[in-house]
Structure 1
Amino acid sequence: MASGVLKGVVRAMRPPFLLLSPLCVLLGIATAVEVGVTPDPRLATLVVLGALLAHGATNLLNEYHDFRSGLDLRTTRTPFSGGSGALPAQPAAAPAVLMAALAGVGLSIALGVYLTLQAGPGLLLVGLLGVVLMVAYTPLITRSALLCLIAPGLGFALIQIGTHYVLTARFNPELFWVALTPLCLVSALLLINQFPDVEADRAVQRGHLPIRLGRPRAARVFAVLVGGAYVAPVAAVGVGGLSAGLLLALLPMPVAGLVAARVMRLARRPQALTPWLGVNVAVVLTTLLLLALGLLLV
């Protein structure tokens, strides 16, 4: 594979954003520890690998579909939206990006089958839903406002839930309270990142929330999701009976509230939102890390 093509594939995978996957695995490890299980390092390593493969494959498929549809040529890229720009800069890499994406899908499925055999059939539903989200996100899910809103967060919540099951061979009801935080935060992250691309996305028949409702109303949904992400740890402690260490995740809440206020204020000026997209990424990563550390260390 030529150097330029290889660089295009790596860039299209969007490596800086892959950090979300191991953080959600760490959160699944933390919930397993919380219910008294000592994680098997070998299984935990395989889960991290599978999560990274699935996440990377999803990014590659998204980049390939957006290049083929012409969307990449319409967007104004920012560090957090509009795609990586890898394929417009290196069109010859498109077949390699597709092959790498399909390889990632295949390998993540193979790992999922192996982990299912190790942990039990309960992982099968989690894995099947994950595969559907991975493969259908760009060509199908982005056409529906509701599905497009829920799917990103659901995918990363499934990483946490699946990790927990692999390590414990059971679903503990209280872990679903914890899963609400990545669900809300990641869905909010993808929602705000859609704001700069409304016109370009509309031109290729996407139908996400900022297109359907307009940016100001979508900004209010963003604020509700952010609020829900920080209500979840309180509910996990108060209702689910989990460790009060989860409340460590509330530390970034003032910054998250500031981001939500700025998004609502600047909703009609998406170019002015770019610095806040970066702050939001930092809030998401910090909150998920603190959520896991709150269970592991407190």
Structure 2
Amino acid sequence: MTGKSLSRGGALFAGSRFPFSTASVLPGLLALAWHWAHFGAPPLVHSVLALGGILWLHLGANTLNDYFDWDQSDRINRFANKFSGGSRRFSHGILSRQAFLFMAIAFFSLALASGVVLIFLDRPMVLLIGGLGAAVGILYSTTPFSFVSRGLGELLIFFAFGPLITWGMGYVFSASFSWEYFLMGIPNGFAVTAILWINEFPDFEADSKSGKRNLVVRLGLKNARVGYILLILGFFLSVVTLSIMGVFPRWSLVALLLLPLAGLLSVRLWRGYTEPQRILPVQGGTIIFQALSSVILIASVWRLH
């Protein structure tokens, strides 16, 4: 394989933002662990197809968002970094804007194929769940809808990366809808929305100039600090509430050990909210927070097995 093909392959990998797929795959694994602990092992083929469908939808949404942001906010973003500002900076002249559209079509096609197979495996309502996920991924940034520019993006991300994933996984496993599966996705919804929220801080200038009026732009950086803290608090409160309700076992309260990390991230944001370089470690820390919290919840549920 030539150096050029390696470079292109690396650009495609980076452009898809595959490493950040933990935001969607981990809640899927949480639902799998919960089902296994309560009802035994779910069907292997169903599990693989469902997790694959989630992954393809996530990557499709990533690349489609980059396609629409390419000549808008990404073009004028002076503070793009490895966490935010789009994947344009990763292309290094190798990938064109059109390449991101082709990747998006390919990923959404793979998600559709996974859904079709599940339908033939007697899971017809996966069309509804997958359709909702695809709609969020497509309409999030696609003009003229562009829900992110209308201040609705954060709410949709909360739903899509939280309850929708776990609820859908529960249906694939049991062929029925259960509120337990819906509720268990709420903590991850808060954590992933916090990732999106903090990533909008260094993008504030570019988003404002390009008309991408997300909630951070609408609130302003100073007020948006409170929103981040509320999302983090929402995570902890939802874990405690779900533990009291019996959806999560008491071992899930181990997630409270992440409070010092959450406090540190909040303090750093509060003090350095106007300086993109000081926000960078908060961005990385929030991603770590989401991943660690998911692993803790998965382990606490798996302990029941």
Structure 1 length as normaliser, TM-score?
0.91
Stretches of structure 1 lacking an aligned partner (at least 5 in a row): none
- Distance (Å, rounded) in 2 between the aligned partners of 1:70 and 1:264: 25
Q: Please point out which of 131, 134, 139 is paired with 1:131.
A: 134
Alignment of 1:88-167 (within 5 A): 89-90=92-93, 92-139=95-142, 140-145=146-151, 147-157=152-162, 158-167=164-173
Q: Please point out which of 237, 259, 275 is paired with 1:231.
A: 237
Conservation of the 8 A alpha-carbon contact between 2:272 and 2:279? yes
Moved more, 159-168 or 64-73: 64-73
Conservation of the 8 A alpha-carbon contact between 2:63 and 2:103? yes
- Distance (Å, rounded) in 2 between the aligned partners of 1:269 and 1:35: 47
Structure 2 length as normaliser, TM-score?
0.89
Question: 1:92 and 1:277, CA in 2 relative to 1: closer, same or farther beyond 3 A?
Answer: closer
Across the aligned residues of Structure 1 and Structure 2, the Cα RMSD in angstroms comes to: 2.2
Q: Between Structure 1 and Structure 2, how many residues are aligned? A: 297
- Distance (Å, rounded) in 2 between the aligned partners of 1:65 and 1:5: 21
Conservation of the 8 A alpha-carbon contact between 1:63 and 1:87? no
Alignment of 1:164-179 (within 5 A): 164-179=170-185
Aligned to 2:281: 275
Look up the SS of the partner of 1:195 in the other structure.
coil
Q: CA deviation at 1:22?
A: 2.1
Aligned partner letter, 1:293: A
- Distance (Å, rounded) in 2 between the aligned partners of 1:64 and 1:107: 18
- Distance (Å, rounded) in 1 between the aligned partners of 2:202 and 2:248: 39
Q: CA deviation at 1:141?
A: 1.5
**Is it true that 1:18 corresponds to 2:24 in the alignment?**
no
Look up the SS of the partner of 1:71 in the other structure.
coil
Percent sequence identity over aligned pairs: 29
Moved more, 84-93 or 263-272: 84-93
- Distance (Å, rounded) in 1 between the aligned partners of 2:114 and 2:73: 33
- Distance (Å, rounded) in 1 between the aligned partners of 2:259 and 2:173: 30
Question: 1:214 and 1:80, CA in 2 relative to 1: closer, same or farther beyond 3 A?
Answer: same
Conservation of the 8 A alpha-carbon contact between 1:119 and 1:165? no
Look up the SS of the partner of 1:138 in the other structure.
coil
- Distance (Å, rounded) in 1 between the aligned partners of 2:159 and 2:110: 21
Q: Please point out which of 45, 65, 83 is paired with 2:48.
A: 45
Stretches of structure 2 lacking an aligned partner (at least 5 in a row): none
- The Cα offsets for residues 178-201 of structure 1, whole Å up to 9 and x where unpaired, read as 211011110111001100011101
Conservation of the 8 A alpha-carbon contact between 1:154 and 1:183? yes
Look up the SS of the partner of 1:212 in the other structure.
helix
Q: Please point out which of 22, 32, 36 is paired with 1:33.
A: 36
Aligned to 1:297: 303
**Is it true that 1:67 corresponds to 2:73 in the alignment?**
no
Q: Please point out which of 55, 60, 80 is paired with 2:58.
A: 55
Look up the SS of the partner of 1:237 in the other structure.
helix
Q: CA deviation at 1:7?
A: 3.6
Conservation of the 8 A alpha-carbon contact between 1:116 and 1:124? yes
Aligned to 2:291: 285
